[in-house]
Structure 1
Amino acid sequence: MCPLCSDALFRRSGGKVESFRNFSIVAHIADVGADLTTYQLVGMSIRMTTNQPPSVPAAAARDVPPAGGGTPGGRAPRGSARARLIAAAHATVRKQGYAATTVDQICAAAGVTKGAFFHHFASKEELAVAAAEGWTERARPMFELPPHVKLDDPLDRLLGHIDFRLAMLDGPTEDYTCFVGTMVQEAYATNDRIRAACEASINAYCQALAPDIQAAMDIYGAPEDVTAIGLAQHVQSVLQGAFVLAKTTNDPAIARGTVTHLKRYVRMLFGAGGTP
């Protein structure tokens, strides 16, 4: 996830991130023994780099899924195959949907063998469930690291989060749309395990957003029938709907307009409170 400006860049020196800008976030989310895999979240796309031992030149940052793995011969670094398969599922399903995505395509995108796939996952369904859980973890830094989370006013934090989501709406739709939102639209009526995993991920987002909403309600007030979790679900609904509209036009402009209206609604709901 996290939603970030799509032109966020970073450069590496000696296998370490040296600098980053435009709200880019670097999160260590996979420890693979001797190698430390770091993921830079750009939009909801991941750029992955692996800190290799000193004797191995650091690979250039590249968008997941990588073309041929991270070691000579196209093999994934030892211990990282599971993480690469999950990242490849995120990228591939967001681009072409769950039903159209095959195990072979995921393996090719991850740079691992089919045997490695079945070592970690019994089926494509099992990977889908794990990838939904991984999507929740992937989104966690957006509630912890961007500058707006340090603001004193909870309404400013909420509006900052909406601005943050707005900033991600650029580039190809698969770079900023939601993995679980995409997958549940296909699987909700046919696969309850996948549906439940997607529900949990979507609910986790709402639960993470609700405390700032409740704090803003405590300060600024709100209509009696408004609840923190209800407004968080509304934010999620607008975002998911914006992604669908962007897909129908193959253009993020309509999604940006929708999220701009969301921000306007939130300001009006709280009497245009927060810092101007």
Structure 2
Amino acid sequence: MRYKADYKQQKRQELLAISGQVAKKHGFQTTGVDSFMKAAGVTSGAFYSHFSSKNELFKALLENELQRSVHLWQKNPHDELAAWVDFELERYLSEQHLNHPDQGCILPTLATEVARADNEIKLAYQQELIRGYQLFEQHLGDAQLAWGFMTQLVGAILLARSMLDDNIRRSILESSKYFIHTALKQHQPQNEF
């Protein structure tokens, strides 16, 4: 059977998307290649026509997921700072994101696994994350605010997901929104917020 020229690339993107969902829900290191491929509806043998190792899958998955996050941040329709910030807070610190890690950002789900990975993985992760950071810095106009904003978002989701009580989970999200607004008000001209 003859496949279209872009079939292999499309299949690889499909495998990365599905593997990303599985990894964000169950963890990457604790999930075997067979489980990733089963979720994608292909044989484990098909894995090796796309990736030479599980480590290569991890690197590609991280790059793909972070590119997806950057794309979402780029799609924020607001230019005015307060509206831009509110859009990001409502999108990221949402109950949808909180309750569906498989559909959300990779940062709160796999950052600890990246921290234990080799330098090649860390470098790939860092390079893609820097692209997202630069968007935040561009909008906020301050390097420290950009890192602070991003880490507050990620930390809030991570901490809220670790709580059993829904009221505490929601309180963490709302408190983080309040904290970010307060920090930004202290660093921005009064007319911005």
The answer, yes or no, to whether TM exceeds 0.5 is yes
Q: TM-score, normalised by structure 1?
A: 0.59
CA deviation string 1:34-68 (max 9, x = no partner): 99xxxxxxxxxxxxxxxxxxxxxxxxxxxxxxxxx
- 1:131 and 2:45 aligned: no
Task: Specify which structure has the bigger relative contact order, considering alpha-carbon pairs within 8 angstroms and separated by 6 or more residues.
Answer: 2
Structure 1 stretch displaced more, 264-273 or 100-109: 264-273
1:79-98 aligned at under 5 Å gives the runs 79-98=9-28
- 1:157 and 2:84 aligned: yes
- 234, 244, 247: which one pairs with 2:158? 244
Structure 1 stretch displaced more, 191-200 or 251-260: 251-260
RMSD over equivalenced CA pairs, Å: 2.8
- Quote the Cα distance in structure 1 between the aligned partners of 2:123 and 2:109: 14
CA deviation string 1:192-219 (max 9, x = no partner): 22222222232221111111111xxxxx
Q: 1:166 to 1:248 in 2, by over 3 A?
A: closer
Give the SS at the match of 2:52: coil
Give the SS at the match of 1:120: coil
Structure 2 stretches lacking a partner, 5+ long:
none
Q: Displacement, 1:146? A: 3.5
CA deviation string 1:151-187 (max 9, x = no partner): 4x33432343333323465552414653244323024
- Quote the Cα distance in structure 2 between the aligned partners of 1:230 and 1:174: 27
Q: Displacement, 1:241? A: 0.8
- 84, 93, 112: which one pairs with 1:185? 112
Higher Rg of the two aligned structures: 1
Q: Displacement, 1:273? A: 3.1
Q: Hey, which of these two has a bigger chunk of helix by percent?
A: 2
Q: Which runs of 4+ in 1 moved over 6 A?
A: none
Q: Which residue of 1 aligns with 2:182?
A: 264
Structure 1 stretches lacking a partner, 5+ long:
1-31, 36-76, 215-227
Contact 1:242–1:259 under 8 Å retained in 2? yes
- Quote the Cα distance in structure 2 between the aligned partners of 1:92 and 1:254: 28
Q: Displacement, 1:81? A: 2.0
- Quote the Cα distance in structure 2 between the aligned partners of 1:190 and 1:175: 21
Q: Hey, which of these two has a bigger chunk of strand by percent?
A: 1
Q: 1:91 to 1:83 in 2, by over 3 A?
A: same
- 116, 132, 142: which one pairs with 1:205? 132
Contact 2:133–2:147 under 8 Å retained in 1? yes
Q: 1:114 to 1:136 in 2, by over 3 A?
A: same
- 1:232 and 2:149 aligned: no
